[in-house]
Amino acid sequence: MLGGTIAALLALVVLGRFVRPDPRGYGTHEQLGLPSCKVIEWWGIPCPGCGVTTSVAWAARGSFLRSLATQPFGLFVALAIPLAAVWAIQGHLRGRDLWRDLNAMRWGAWGWWIAVALLASWLYKIAAVRSLLTWR
């Protein structure tokens, strides 16, 4: 558990240091050797995850407003990573069983909030890609 959160934190640092956020607002993951998003290529709408890597890359560079404008869920992910790392390190130093603590959490309530945030961010991203938003 501790290793996973530290690895996620290091990945955030790597994204901020070595990956350039794509100016389109999506596609940054292609710099990591991953394929382009077929959903946006085939149907012209982004998938629910379109722009998350780009948004995280902006946040890792300290551009939080740009991250929010790119893909709000990506900013949520970028902020959750260091918070999870702090929680894991603190728990580890206190001798807590992090796996048991995670299993004790009420994931049902969290899951609904995360799903709503992802859906709202996806609708926002569709509007942004389709140029329905004037402030971008």
Cα dist. 76→52, 79, 130 in Å? 9, 5, 23
Q: Give Dmax over CA atoms of the chain in angstroms.
A: 51
> Is the confidence at residue 10, as pLDDT, over 90?
no
pTM above 0.75?
yes
pLDDT digit string, tens, across residues 26-70: 899 999 899 998 988 898 889 999 999 999 999 989 999 999 999
CA atoms in the 13 A half-sphere facing the CB of 47: 12
Reported as a single tens digit per residue, the pLDDT across 102-113 is: 778 777 878 899
3-class secondary-structure state, position 85: helix
